[in-house]
């Protein structure tokens, strides 16, 4: 029953379509039909060219993940499984919101908010890897994908190290590995389409050269 409660709370919080509501009310823009169609901070920024709007959406989406984790720690017995399930379903709700025909964002901001409480070291690792690849390639989608892949490699290679900096502490190393992998895989799935579009775009440019 507590597992179902954690999943439900996380999904409902995560499914709040921040970018869709804000752009619809403030700019009369349907973000699902504008730009990349991604219901997230980056697409909102690119559509409006407003840093403040993009940052505001990022913070609210991150807060959805943070609240999902915090509420489970606050109201349920202290156990890693409950907040981790809540965060996983918050990311799922953000990526596939029932309020906008199961469209959504890519889950990074919501995952970041929750992981800042659960496993801040994982957030730090992801940011460092992302920054290194972005400095080299200057492409956000590519940097995201490589950060996801290398984060998973580091998690499985040094799971004991991450284990020590996770709160509440997981019962086993495999519990943390499964949780972290599930979130990263979900985020990766949402990157397949933009990654394919980027590959096709670069291929077209190469053929025209």
pLDDT in tens, 46-67: 999 999 999 999 999 999 999 9
What is the pTM assigned to this prediction?
0.94
**pLDDT category of residue 205 using cuts at 50, 70 and 90:** low
Q: pLDDT tens across 12-37, in order?
A: 999 999 999 999 999 999 999 999 99
- 181 burial class (0-12, 13-18, 19+ CB within 10 angstroms)? middle
């Amino acid at each position: 029953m507590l597992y179902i409660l954690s999943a439900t709370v996380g999904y409902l919080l995560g499914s709040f379509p921040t970018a869709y509501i804000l752009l619809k009310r403030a700019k009369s823009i349907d973000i699902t039909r504008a730009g990349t169609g991604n219901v997230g901070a980056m697409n909102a920024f690119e559509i409006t060219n407003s840093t403040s709007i993009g940052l505001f959406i990022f913070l609210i989406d991150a807060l959805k993940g943070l609240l999902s984790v915090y509420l489970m720690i606050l109201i349920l017995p202290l156990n890693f499984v409950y907040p981790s399930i809540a965060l996983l379903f918050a990311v799922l709700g953000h990526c596939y919101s029932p309020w906008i025909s199961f469209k959504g964002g890519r889950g990074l901001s919501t995952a970041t908010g929750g992981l800042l409480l659960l496993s801040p070291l994982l957030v730090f690792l992801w940011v460092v890897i992302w920054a290194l690849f972005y400095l080299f390639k200057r492409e956000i989608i590519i940097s995201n994908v490589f950060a996801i892949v290398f984060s998973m490699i580091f998690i499985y290679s040094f799971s004991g190290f991450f284990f020590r900096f996770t709160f509440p502490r997981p019962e086993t190393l495999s519990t943390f590995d499964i949780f972290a992998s599930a979130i990263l895989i979900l985020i990766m799935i949402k990157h397949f389409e933009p990654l394919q579009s980027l590959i096709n775009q670069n291929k077209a440019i190469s053929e025209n050269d």
